[in-house]
Amino acid sequence: MNKKVTFGARPKPLSVVDPVAADAFVSGGAETQPAPPPQAQEPAEKVKLKRLTIDIEPALHKRLKARAAEEDTSIADVARRLLQEWAHR
């Protein structure tokens, strides 16, 4: 038995997503008014970032990921903060 499956065109990604509206939609409040756009601020000086890669044990990664999720942050943000504190001691 041979089945032919056809797919339509790939949907185009949205260029701008309002995180407040997205959270409201997910929590069931899609009918609420979207938040006004943030006020324009002076652009900060762009700094080219450097990538740092480290190897850690899977158990530590699991604990870091869980703790970062509890605190609504990312492992990268935690690492940046701790490295900044350590470097400026």
Question: Cα–Cα distance between 41 and 28 in angstroms, integer?
Answer: 31
Name the percent of the chain lying above pLDDT 70.
Answer: 78
What number of residues does the chain have?
89
pTM of full prediction above 0.75? no
Model confidence at 32: pLDDT above 60 = no
pLDDT at 36: 64
Distance of CA 26 to the CA centre of its chain: 16
Residue linked to tokens 């869980």: 66
Section 1-11 average pLDDT: 81
Per domain, the residue ranges of the chain are 57-89
Handedness of CA 89, 58, 69, 38 (dihedral sign): positive
Query: 78 Cβ partners below 8 Å, 6+ apart?
Result: 64, 67, 68
